[in-house]
Amino acid sequence: MRWMLRGRRDPGDGGELDARLSETWEAAAAAVAKMLDLPSGNEALLASSRLQPEGAADLRAPTGMTGRVGRRRRLVLRVAAGAVVGLAAVAVALAAAGLPGARPGGTGRSATDAAYVVKRIDTALSAAGPSEIAQMRVTTRGAVIPGGSAATTTGEEWSYSDQWRSLVNSPTGRLVYDEGVSTSSVFTVVSYQTRTWAHQREQKQSGGRVVGRRGCEPAFAFAPVPPVPGLPGPGFAVSSPHSSVAKALRAAVSCGSLAVAGRQRVDGIEAIKLTNAQGSQISMTIWVSPDTYLPMRVYSRPAADQQGFWQTADITWLPPTAQNLAKLTVPVPAGFRQVPLTQLVHPALIPIGPKSK
Amino acid sequence: MLLGDGARSSVAGEMLERVNPAEIGAFYEREMPRLVLFVTVSTGLDIHTAADVAQGAFEKALPRWPTLRNPRAWLYRVAQNEALARHAAVRREVLVDVVPDRPDQPSAALSAELRAEQREVLACLRNLPPKQRQVMTWTLAGFGDAEIAAALGLSTDAVKQSRYYARRNLVKRLGLAGRNSQ
C-alpha cells in the first residue's frame, strides 16, 4: 500500500506493523462486506440493466432486495424518478445494500449479531447435513429415574443424512449398547450386557422429523441418556425420533432464543459462544467454529427447578469417506444371539413404535 | 439533501447522464465495506450505525457525483463528519444510568470473522488517542498526507507527526518493538 512507502519509519517494527495493519484492514473490510451482505458489482449491473430502459414506471428493486428496502429506498427512488434512470439501478442497489442491520441509534446490536451468526450456522448446518458426518462424544449426567441417583455416562454418536449410530457406555466405561439405523432404514441394536442383538425395519418418517415440539427444543434428544440399571434396553437414542444431528441443531438454533455471548476457547479454537434466553426449560450453550460456523460443542442442562440431564456433546464434522461411513455400521459380534426387539428394549423406551418383528 | 423540484432534478439529471452506472456500482462494491470499517474504527460507532452513515454518504454523493473532483475523499469526509455528529448526539442522549457498550468493543459478528491477531490489531487501533486514530484510519484507507490534512484540518507536518506517534503506540501495544529490527 502507498502509505507504507512514505513517512518516518518507526524503529524496531521492521515492516511487521505495516503487514499486520494491512492484513487486518483487508480482512476486516472483507468481513464487513460479508456481514452486511452487500450486493456484488454484478448484482448492481443486473439491476442497472433491468432499470435502465424506461422511466420511473420501471423503477423496481431487483428480486430479493425489496424486502430490505426502507425509507432510504423511497428517497433514492424519488431522486431517480426525477432525474436520471441510468443511475437508478445503482441507487436501488445502494438503498438495498447498506441497510441490513442499520438502525438509527444502533440499538439491538446483539440481537442483530445473534441473528447474523445464527443465519451463518443455519447455512453451514444446511450444507453439512447431507455432506458431512457428525461425530459426537457425549457426556451425560443425570438420574434416569426421577429421584434416583445421578450417574455420568459417555457415549459416541455418528449421524449422516438418515443414518445414525450410537454407542452407549456404562458409568464404568464399558460398552453397553451399540445401535443404529442403516441406509436401508434397518434399525439394529446390540446389547453387550446380554450378548444379544435385534433388528427391525424402521418406519419411515417423511422429511425427517425435527426433535422437539415445533422443533424448538434444544438439540438435547440426539444424545443418548444413561442406560437404566436393571432395565433392559438402551438409552434414549432408541426412543428418540432420530432426525439427523444437523437437522436437530438447525431446529435448536433457529428458534430465535440464542444470543451471542462472546468467544471462548474450545479445543484450541476461539469459538463463538451462543446461549439461549433465561427462563427456558432447558439451558443450552452452543460453541461454533468461527471458520465454518458448524457447532463444535453443545451443552445443555435443565433449568434450576427442573429435572433432567446435563449433557455435553463435542462434535467433529467428518467427510463421508468410506472409512468414515463405516463408522455408521453397527457390527454384530460373532456368537451374539438374535432376539425379538421387544425382548431387548424395554417397552417403555420404544414409543416411536417400530413394528414388532 | 435530495432533489425535490423539477428544475434541480433536470440539472442533476444532465450531470448524472455523464456517469457510468457500472463504474459507480464497482466503486460502491469496493468502497462501501471499507467506508463502514473506516467509520467504525475511526469514530467508535457500532457497525450498523457505521453502515447507516456510509450509506447516507453514498446517497449524498450520488446526485453530485460528476461534479466531485475527488469523490472518494469527499465520501470519506462526509461520512466522518456525519459519524462524529451522530457520536456526539448519542453521547448527549445517553442517560447516566445506562451502561454503554464498551467503545472499543467491535461488533461480535465482525469479531467472529476475524482471527485473534486481527482482532488485537483492530482493538489497538480503536484504542489510540482520537487524533492518532483518525490519522491512522485515513492512512489505512489509502489517503495521502495532503488529503488527510485537508480532511482533518491539520497541517501535513501534524499528520506525519500523529502517524509517527500512532505507529509507535501500535508497535508498543502489539509487542512488535525490537522484532526484526533492521
In this structure, the answer to whether residues B158 and B180 fall within a common structural domain is yes
**Domain for residue B65, yes or no?**
yes
> Is residue B84 located within the same domain as residue B42?
yes
In terms of residue numbers, what domain contains B179? Answer: 114-182
Contacts of A106 in chain B (CB under 8 A): 45-46, 48-49, 90
**Residues B95, B98, B104, B105, CA torsion sign:** negative
Q: Tens place of pLDDT for every residue, chain B, 182 residues?
A: 233 333 333 444 444 455 666 677 778 888 888 999 999 888 888 777 788 888 888 878 877 777 888 889 999 999 998 888 877 765 554 443 333 333 444 566 677 777 888 888 988 998 888 889 999 999 999 999 999 999 888 899 999 999 999 999 999 988 887 654 43
Query: Treating both helix axes as pointing N-terminal to C-terminal, what angle do B21-43 and B130-140 enclose, rounded to 10 degrees?
Result: 150
Residues B13 and B96 in one domain: yes
Whether residues B5 and B88 fall in one domain:
yes
Q: Which of A212, A204, A278 is nearest to A249 (CA)?
A: A212
pLDDT of residue A184: 79
Is position B40 within any domain?
yes
Q: Which run of H or E residues covers position A177?
A: strand A175-181
Size of interface A-B (CB pairs under 8 A): 244
Is B109 part of any domain? no
- Radius of gyration, alpha carbons of chain B: 19
Is B177 in contact with A104 (Cβ distance < 8 A)? no
Q: Which residues of A touch B116 (CB under 8 A)?
A: 270
Whether B41 is covered by a domain: the verdict is yes
Q: Is the dihedral of CA B67, B71, B75, B78 positive or negative?
A: negative
The cell for B92 is: 448527549
Collapsed DSSP state (helix, strand, coil) of residue A35: helix
Query: Which residues make Cβ contacts (< 8 Å) with residue A152, sequence separation at least 6?
Result: A139, A140, A141, A171, A226
| pTM score, whole prediction | 0.43
Residues on chain B touching A50 (C-beta within 8 angstroms): none
Best to test chain B binding among A2, A16, A36, A294 (most B CBs inside 10 Å): A36
Task: Give tens-digit pLDDT for A304-342.
Answer: 666 667 788 888 888 888 888 888 889 999 888 888 877
- Tell me which residue in A10, A34, A44 faces B25 most closely, judged by beta carbons: A44
Would residue B167 count as lying in a domain? yes
Contact between residue A256 and residue A284 where contact means Cβ atoms under 8 Å apart:
no
Q: Which of A78, A97, A117 sits opposite B109 (nearest CB)?
A: A117
B5 and B35 belong to one structural domain:
yes
* Main-chain dihedrals φ then ψ at residue A264, nearest 5 degrees: -150, 145
Question: d(Cα B28, Cα B57) in Å, to the nearest integer?
Answer: 11
In a 10 Å sphere around its CB, with 0-12 CB exposed, 13-18 middle and 19+ buried, how is residue A261 labelled? middle
Same domain flag for B15 and B75: yes
Q: What is the DSSP secondary structure assignment for residue A160, as one 8-state letter?
A: E
B52, B73, B102 - which closes a domain? B102
Q: Distance between CA atoms of B146 and A6, rounded to whole angstroms?
A: 13
Could you say which of A31, A35, A41 has the minimum Cβ distance to residue B29? A41
B120 shares its domain with B173: yes
pLDDT value for B37: 92
Q: Which of B102, B129, B154 is the last residue of a domain?
A: B102
Chain A residue with CA closest to B159: the answer is A7
- What sign results for the dihedral spanned by CA atoms B108, B114, B115, B121? negative
ipTM above 0.95, yes or no: no
Predicted local confidence at residue A21, as pLDDT: 92
CA distance A237 to A299: 17
- Residue reference for cell 448484482: A43
For residues B122 and B43, membership in a common domain is answered with no
Interchain pair A82, B13: CB under 8 A: yes
Q: How many domains in chain B?
A: 2
Domain boundary among B78, B102, B126: B102
Residue B108 included in any domain: no
Type of residue at B10? S
Same domain, B170 and B81: no
Closest by CA to A330, choosing from A138, A198, A153, A140, is A198
Angstrom distance (rounded) from CA A333 to CA A326: 15
